[in-house]
Amino acid sequence: MNKITYSKTGRRHEAMHKTNEDCIGFYQDAQLAVMAVADGASSSNAAGTASRLTVDALLEFSKNPAIWRMKPADLRKQILQVLDKHYLDSNCSYDELCATAVLVAVNYPENRYLAVSVGDCTAVIFDRTLSPSILLAPCNLGSKQQTIFCNDRAAYKRMRLEQGSLHQAAGFLLMTDGCGDAFSAASAAPMLRDLAALAILSEEHAQQELEKIAEEIRAKHTGHDVTAGLMMCGEDTDLNALAKATCTVVLPETENTETPVPVPEEVTADEEDTPQEEITEEITAVCKIYTAQELSEAFLCEPFELLTALRPLLKMHTAVYENGCFTLTGGGIT
């Protein structure tokens, strides 16, 4: 998973000389990708500690392989048990450790995801067309000023769980209430789709875009801290192609990005004009991006044979070799 995050103190909190009371955490290995966001209650004397402990607890919960076999009732109990362990091990009063939270865990081998929220945080899911929709909406008690905290007695009943197949998901956006309304609005869909595409194509440029958007949101609101985290399937070939085709944010060009194609010394001018027909016909039918090694293996030919076949296409600009890969455009390899 590619991931980008943003977390900054709200303007009102800055004026009060308060620190950021939100927290965001991310964990990834060969089996698992997890992101958790927590929002400490401003009314509490231990808001920052509460959010940090909550994120730590949720990451620990997600690393337990048994959770993928649990029923919803058992999942709720397990989450609250891990939260309580972290809260009780701290030096703060349990009642002061008030935080809302949202978590998404992705299980790669099983192609599944698990999403959990308590309180007024939000989770957005992106489908395989990069269209966003609300996965977990905020849960409040009648108004935004009354929400559920992870240490509340009502947390068990009010906790929200969602499970699904990663085959239908391209990624997830998690956020606290500081930017939840702005990102959840229907008018934000094009902006979020671009942000998701950028996160697939370039974490660096997506990070810059997220910070710009979040700063604009923060400038309009003087209250809450602003925290958001996005994780997208960056290694998926189909999603990469879709992201390139749909992203409206122009990525700045980098210098000397095009790698020259090596030409074997034994290839003569005559051979350049008469490529190996069988290899060429098969290659021109390919519609995805491939490295030279992958193409050589796919068509059972040596690298120099592949380059001999491709060279006329490259000269006619129906084939372009860039960043170590060949791609098809306009009916030819690029």
Give the mean pLDDT of the chain.
Answer: 82
Average pLDDT in the 198-220 region? 89
| Closest to 8 in 3D by CA, of 226, 204, 176, 196 | 226
pLDDT at 2 over 50: yes
Residue ranges of the alpha helices (H) in 97-170? 155-158
Cα(80)–Cα(156) distance, rounded to whole angstroms?
8
Let me know: does 98 contact 44? Beta carbons within 8 Å. Answer: yes
**Res 324: pLDDT:** 58
**Res 271: pLDDT:** 46
pLDDT at 258 over 60: no
Cα(284)–Cα(256) distance, rounded to whole angstroms?
26
Q: What percentage of the chain carries pLDDT values higher than 90?
A: 54
pLDDT category at 256 given cuts 50, 70, 90 is very low
Query: May I ask the CATH class of domain 2-246?
Result: alpha beta
Query: May I ask the CATH class of domain 269-333?
Result: mainly alpha
Domain ranges of the chain: 2-246, 269-333
Between 14-28, 89-103, 114-128, 195-209, the lowest mean confidence (pLDDT) is in 14-28
**Direct distance between the N- and C-terminal alpha carbons of the chain, in angstroms, rounded to an integer:** 27
Q: What residue ranges in the chain does DSSP mark as E strands?
A: 2-8, 22-28, 32-40, 99-107, 112-118, 122-126, 132-136, 140-143, 146-147, 160-165, 171-175, 226-232, 290-291, 320-322, 325-329, 332-333
pLDDT digits (tens, 9 = 90+) for 293-325: 666 666 656 655 666 666 666 666 666 666 556
Q: What percentage of the chain carries pLDDT values higher than 70?
A: 71
**Res 145: pLDDT:** 64
pLDDT digits (tens, 9 = 90+) for 102-129: 999 999 999 999 999 999 999 999 999 9
pLDDT digits (tens, 9 = 90+) for 149-188: 999 999 999 999 999 999 999 999 999 987 877 887 788 8
pLDDT at 1 over 60: yes
Predicted TM-score (pTM) above 0.75 = no
pLDDT digits (tens, 9 = 90+) for 49-99: 999 999 999 999 999 999 999 999 999 999 999 999 999 999 999 999 999
Structure tokens at 296: 């050589």
